[in-house]
Amino acid sequence: MPWRAVALAAIFTLFALLRKASIATVLLIAILLGSSLMSLRQGALSSSEIASNIGKSVEITARITTDPREVEKKVSGRNFLPPSYSFLAKSRVPIRIITTDLSVANLLPGQEIRGVASIRASKEQRVAALVIMKKVEVVSAATRWARLLGSIRHGLSVATGGGDSGALIPGMVLGDTSKQSADFKVDMRRSGLTHLVAVSGANFAIVSGFVLWCMQFLFRRMNYRIIATSISLIAFISLVRPSPSVLRAAAMAAVILFAKATAQGRDSLPALGFAIAAVVVADPWQARDPGFALSVLATVGLLLFAPKLTTSLERFIPKPLAQATAPPIAAMLFCSPIIVTISGFLSPMSIVANILAAPVVAPITIVGFIGALISPILPGFAHLLVLVVKPFAAWIALVAHWCASFPGFALSVLVVLLFTSIFFLPKRILILFIICILTITWVQRFPAGAWDVANCDVGQGDAMVLNLGDHKGIVIDTGPDPALMDRCLKRLGIDEIPLLILTHNHADHVGGLSGAIRGRSVGTQWFENVKRGTSAKVGSVTLEVIWPDGGTYDPNNSSIAVIVRTPTYSLFAGGDLEPKVQSLLQVPRIDIYKVCHHGSVFQDESFTRALSPKVSVISVGDGNTYGHPAPQTITALDRLGSIVLRTDRDGAIAINTRNNRLSIQRSKSKWKLWRWE
């Protein structure tokens, strides 16, 4: 667009005039330009023709701009959604396309497609609309350049093979995370290593630094080396796809490369200011993207703090190790206040994970990059190169799994402020601050002390655990999300499941099964294979199945219903049973009631009165669209004097039934400074 060319020209002119200006000056210019350009582009999106057709079905033609990626398997209510692909495209304005046509998996950026689509409003501010296509017609073939880049990406994916280590290398080299399992992605996120598989300034800095080093054997003059490296950087952008985050990373890497090439250190801050302004002009939405702030702060940390930290570390550890560990520590230190503020989550082990992973990041990136380039013509040699660095990738995967097993914690605003103030505290106060943090951490852990019954916070679904001691537990349903289920069992310390009960085959009750059994031994399973009269005794826990009776019912009313008896409590759990069956059951008074069907309006009052529970647990998702739990259900339980607990407000729930009393713990609490995750 003409306005963009003019704006970029203005930025380059300003950079030439303000090379000696402070970063604040250039930042101010970037903010002014960014806010103006964002207003213009937002107006263009909202007034576009496709935006005027929201809520309608129309035929559109669009050009693909990003690789189609398979959407992770999701649960909608009780059902799994069908497999689908998502990608960005351009139909005069940017749009997001989601389609269940699996043939798009082989399409490449630049190809044109056509189809009848349902146009919907999108929460994604960069696009004019969300476009839902059932069938996609390919209008144009991929260009030779696109096919070459696609063959390089595919070649590396094939050469790396399977397993977490094989899935990690394409992500670290090209940002391709398509081979990574959902569980591995969760572990990478919880260990603070996700940035390794999102093409970032670090990737560009490593590749650019390697190319710059190679150029010394071809060119004597530094200017020629930088020009050749810049050309390589542009080619690398095409290879990893020029998404907004990639262009941002390239800009930050260019600043680091400039600083290293000219050895100017602090004097490179004006260049950073220029890069910030250029990125905001090219994509105004970057100014509102937390990732942009993180990229800038990480770059500042690498420019200003990493050299000093390296010097300090060299007093205690070998120089190569100091040079490897200082950059990630510096970047993370500068980014931590923003991470805590925007996510409210902090993993204490993320620093350890980054330190352990740092020494092998560069070898994987460089060797993997070379392997990717030669994979289309020398696949065998590419495979050998991958074998060299695959043990390094396995090391990172091991670190990710290990560090993810430690809890992180979600913080309140108070702790965010305290955490940020670390950078300004005197040493004595800092020591006292750390002691207070460790003390509060211990007091506020979840679950704190003994527990007998726990209900996991798994969103809109059910998952309950009965403690058998010695890291064993009976699990009743597994919720919709494997990652949330696995995390809950880790928090509860459950390593073995002697009895697993899946009440009925709805996704919100069985979708998290793979997370429940991950790394755990499982004994007997009850799932559509038990009927009324079945019983079992596991340790001190006796279970009696009182439904189903073998008749033909809908899935909800075919739920396995059990009465649990122990020396210290009794419990009833009945999946999603509704009044049609509830009215048929003869139930005793019990202590704990896992309320049927997420506390929906479908409850039989006489059944609830017969149970007369002391504590009622409702497993329900925050902000669900089903109206769960129903006010009538809550009122009926309140009239019985039952303590009503609900996961959308209380989080995970743990109940201790010892000493003839029910003691309740909640993972969410107003007085807590943070909660463990």
Angle at 526 between CA 524 and CA 527, to 5 degrees: 135
- Tell me, what DSSP letter sits at residue 345? E
CA 448 and chain centroid, separation: 27
* pLDDT top residue among 305 and 547: 547
Give the pLDDT confidence score for residue 228 in this predicted structure. Answer: 79
Under a CB-based contact definition with an 8 Å cutoff, are residues 666 and 445 in contact? no
Token couple for 521: 């031994």
CA-based nearest residue to 539, from 516, 560, 517, 566 = 566
* Confidence bin at 434 (pLDDT 50/70/90): low
Q: Is 70 exceeded by the pLDDT of residue 151?
A: yes
Alpha-carbon separation of residue 497 from 453, 562, 567 (angstroms): 14, 17, 20
**Among 443, 464, 489, which residue terminates a domain?**
443
- Whether residues 255 and 352 fall in one domain: yes
Under a CB-based contact definition with an 8 Å cutoff, are residues 622 and 648 in contact? yes
Decide if 150 is inside a domain: yes
Within 13 Å and on the Cβ side, how many CA atoms surround 455? 33
**Among 111, 126, 142, which residue terminates a domain?**
142
Angle at 457 between CA 419 and CA 185, to 5 degrees: 70
Mean pLDDT of 321-347: 67
* Confidence bin at 441 (pLDDT 50/70/90): low
* Confidence bin at 602 (pLDDT 50/70/90): very high
Angle at 316 between CA 311 and CA 318, to 5 degrees: 80
Under a CB-based contact definition with an 8 Å cutoff, are residues 111 and 62 in contact? no
Q: Is 70 exceeded by the pLDDT of residue 74?
A: no
* Containing structural domain, residue 369: 146-296+347-411
- Whether residues 240 and 198 fall in one domain: yes
Look up tokens 């030779």; give the residue.
144
Strand 592-594, strand 615-618: pairing: parallel
Token couple for 262: 């000219």
Q: Residue 127 and residue 91: Cα distance in Å, rounded? A: 10
Decide if 314 is inside a domain: no
User: How many CB atoms lie under 10 A from the CB of residue 535?
Assistant: 11
CA 42 and chain centroid, separation: 27
Please list, residue by residue across 577-595, b when 16 or more beta carbons sit within 10 angstroms of its beta carbon and e when fewer do.
Answer: bbbebbeebebeebbbbbb
- For 494-519, what is each residue's pLDDT tens digit? 999 999 999 999 989 999 998 899 88
Decide if 305 is inside a domain: no
- Tell me, what DSSP letter sits at residue 88? E
Alpha-carbon separation of residue 274 from 1, 201, 203, 287 (angstroms): 21, 16, 21, 14
Q: Is 60 exceeded by the pLDDT of residue 309?
A: yes
Residues facing residue 87 across a β-bridge: 97
- Whether residues 193 and 243 fall in one domain: yes
Residue type, 267: D
- Whether residues 459 and 563 fall in one domain: yes
Tell me: cis bond preceding 447? Omega within 30 of 0 counts: yes
Burial class (CB in 10 A: 0-12, 13-18, 19+), 266: exposed
- Whether residues 619 and 497 fall in one domain: yes
- Whether residues 263 and 283 fall in one domain: yes
Give me the CATH number covering residue 523: 3.60.15.10
Give the pLDDT confidence score for residue 263 in this predicted structure. Answer: 57
Decide if 178 is inside a domain: yes
For helices 379-404 and 144-160, give the axis angle rounded to 10 degrees. Answer: 60
Contacts of 656 (CB under 8 A, 6+ apart): 449, 450, 451, 452, 662, 663, 664, 665
Q: Residue 373 and residue 386: Cα distance in Å, rounded? A: 12
- Whether residues 130 and 158 fall in one domain: no
Decide if 39 is inside a domain: no
Give me the CATH number covering residue 97: 2.40.50.140
Residues facing residue 86 across a β-bridge: 69, 98
Give the DSSP letter string of 189-243.
Answer: HHTT-GGGGS--HHHHHHHHHHHHHHHTTT-SSHHHHHHHHHHHHHHHHHHH---
- Whether residues 150 and 80 fall in one domain: no
Decide if 657 is inside a domain: yes
Contacts of 382 (CB under 8 A, 6+ apart): 155, 156, 159, 371, 372, 374, 375
- Whether residues 244 and 190 fall in one domain: yes
Residues facing residue 118 across a β-bridge: 57, 132
Decide if 302 is inside a domain: no
Give the pLDDT confidence score for residue 1 in this predicted structure. Answer: 41
Decide if 18 is inside a domain: no
Residue type, 249: A
Give the pLDDT confidence score for residue 414 in this predicted structure. Answer: 47
Measured in degrees and rounded to the nearest 5, phi and psi for residue 544 equal -125, 125
- For 403-414, what is each residue's pLDDT tens digit? 877 665 555 444
Under a CB-based contact definition with an 8 Å cutoff, are residues 240 and 246 in contact? yes
Residue type, 161: G
Name the least confident of 14-28, 82-96, 598-612: 14-28
Token couple for 148: 């070459």
Under a CB-based contact definition with an 8 Å cutoff, are residues 633 and 640 in contact? no
Please list, residue by residue across 414-436, b when 16 or more beta carbons sit within 10 angstroms of its beta carbon and e when fewer do.
Answer: ebbebbeeeeeeeeeeeeeeeee
- Whether residues 159 and 105 fall in one domain: no
- Whether residues 380 and 525 fall in one domain: no
Q: Residue 40 and residue 26: Cα distance in Å, rounded? A: 21
Give the DSSP letter string of 457-495.
Answer: --SSS--EEEEEETTEEEEE---S-HHHHHHHHHHHT--
Residue type, 277: A
**Among 112, 142, 172, which residue terminates a domain?**
142
Map residue 613 onto helix, strand or coil.
Answer: coil
User: What proportion of the chain, given as a percentage, has pLDDT over 70?
Assistant: 77
- Whether residues 550 and 662 fall in one domain: yes
User: How many CB atoms lie under 10 A from the CB of residue 470?
Assistant: 10
Q: Residue 81 and residue 262: Cα distance in Å, rounded? A: 54
- For 222-237, what is each residue's pLDDT tens digit? 777 777 777 777 777 7
Contacts of 28 (CB under 8 A, 6+ apart): none
pTM: 0.66
- Tell me, what DSSP letter sits at residue 420? H
Give the pLDDT confidence score for residue 191 in this predicted structure. Answer: 79
CA-based nearest residue to 451, from 433, 435, 467 = 467
Q: Residue 201 and residue 198: Cα distance in Å, rounded? A: 10
Residues facing residue 573 across a β-bridge: 562, 594
- For 612-652, what is each residue's pLDDT tens digit? 999 999 999 888 888 899 999 999 999 999 999 999 998 89
Number of domains in the chain: 4
Q: Residue 166 and residue 246: Cα distance in Å, rounded? A: 22
Under a CB-based contact definition with an 8 Å cutoff, are residues 555 and 506 in contact? yes
Q: Is 90 exceeded by the pLDDT of residue 466?
A: yes
Q: Residue 560 and residue 532: Cα distance in Å, rounded? A: 9
Under a CB-based contact definition with an 8 Å cutoff, are residues 321 and 386 in contact? no
Q: Is 70 exceeded by the pLDDT of residue 194?
A: yes
